[in-house]
């Protein structure tokens, strides 16, 4: 039966707009997500915002263990009862805020890298991505549902208009790919936009960490900060306060044309710029 307020009310819950709740309904889409994810019986799954369990139940049938973190205590109570009735014993449901969750502690306690799943509220999508990339060494893979516009930016390749700082951020830490398009009709309440499920397979070890990670992202931020300008002018106009001779030396050392724009550079080329800045040891990056 499709979800509606009519069948949510007897459960004593409503979809809370302030939490960005859009419940995934039906079994078809969750089953496809789990099937395409590649999750196995040896995986420890960390599920972000399980809601009423659309993904939790199919995940529990395959994974070794599911740790589900739900912010809404009312929804968590309903899901806890459903898990009890279905006699699901390999799922640990916690009430908490994913943005305050220590991924390293969980991974260390489980003695393995985590496989993350989540139908993310749109307003926390970017903060969650930041949290995942900061904890990349503790993660095996993430399968996440985003607003399609954001998903397109995450998976974009150099040269595309959608290629941006967030593309570089995610692709620095792992291999990204699109798994599934999800129409807005598969949610209640129905959102105004469609969604897309993507996966991030985290590098282990990460070949990009041969460079200065902090410096790399300062350069990426400066490059995309004024993306309509060419790279030389973007750096000159950034808060990093480089002089023209310094910028010229960097591009010569990196063997990159400074008249190009940020969206044309691959991650390896951003790394070349990073290494060039590092070699010249500018005080702005010390």
CATH number at residue 181: 3.40.50.150
**Which residues constitute the domain of residue 11?**
5-208
The last residue of a domain, from among 163, 185, 208: 208
Tokens of 155: 């998976």
* Domain identity same for 185 and 240: no
List the Cα angle 99/165/30 in 5-degree steps.
50
> Does residue 220 sit in the same domain as residue 167?
no
Question: Which among 185, 208, 231 is the end of a domain?
Answer: 208
Are both 266 and 203 inside the same structural domain? no
Predicted TM-score (pTM) above 0.85 = yes
What percent of the chain stands above pLDDT 70? 91
- 144, 197 in Cβ contact below 8 A? yes
pLDDT attached to residue 16: 54
Taking alpha carbons only, the member of 10, 32, 79 closest to residue 196 is 32
Strand partners, 180: 197
pLDDT at residue 239, as a whole number: 78
Specify whether 127 is located in the same domain as 259: no
| Domain edge (last residue) among 146, 175, 208 | 208
Tell me the pLDDT tens digit for each residue of 217-276: 999 999 999 888 999 999 998 877 778 898 999 999 999 999 999 999 999 999 999 999
Whether 164 contacts 152, CB under 8 Å: no
Which sign, positive or negative, has the C-alpha torsion 266, 271, 277, 280?
A: negative
- Identify the pLDDT of residue 281: 66
Residue 1 is predicted with a pLDDT of 42
**Residue stretches of the chain with pLDDT short of 50:** 1-10, 283-286
Q: What is the pLDDT of residue 120?
A: 85
């Amino acid at each position: 039966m499709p979800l509606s307020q009519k069948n949510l009310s007897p459960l004593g819950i409503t979809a809370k707009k302030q939490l960005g709740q859009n419940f995934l309904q039906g079994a078809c889409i969750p089953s496809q997500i789990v099937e395409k994810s590649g999750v196995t019986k040896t995986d420890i799954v960390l599920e972000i915002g399980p809601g009423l369990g659309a993904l939790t139940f199919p995940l529990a049938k395959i994974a070794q263990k599911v740790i589900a973190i739900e912010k809404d205590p009312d929804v968590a109570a309903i899901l806890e009862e459903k898990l009890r009735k279905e006699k699901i014993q390999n799922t640990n449901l916690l009430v908490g805020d994913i943005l305050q969750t220590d991924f390293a502690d969980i991974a260390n306690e489980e003695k393995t890298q985590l496989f993350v799943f989540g139908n993310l509220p749109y307003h926390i999508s970017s903060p969650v991505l930041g949290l995942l990339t900061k904890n990349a060494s503790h993660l095996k893979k993430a399968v996440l549902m985003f607003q399609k516009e954001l998903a397109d930016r995450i998976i974009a390749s150099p040269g595309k208009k959608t290629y941006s700082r967030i593309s570089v951020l995610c692709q620095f830490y792992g291999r990204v790919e699109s798994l599934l398009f999800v129409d807005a009709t598969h949610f209640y309440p129905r959102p105004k936009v469609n969604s897309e499920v993507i996966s991030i397979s985290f590098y282990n070890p990460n070949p990009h960490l041969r460079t200065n990670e902090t410096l790399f992202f300062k350069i990426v931020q400066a490059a995309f900060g004024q993306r309509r300008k060419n790279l030389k002018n973007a750096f000159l106009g950034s808060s990093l306060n480089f002089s023209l001779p310094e910028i010229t030396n960097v591009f010569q050392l990196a063997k990159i044309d400074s008249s190009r724009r940020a969206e044309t550079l691959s991650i390896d080329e951003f790394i070349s710029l990073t290494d060039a800045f590092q070699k010249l040891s500018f005080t702005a990056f010390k």
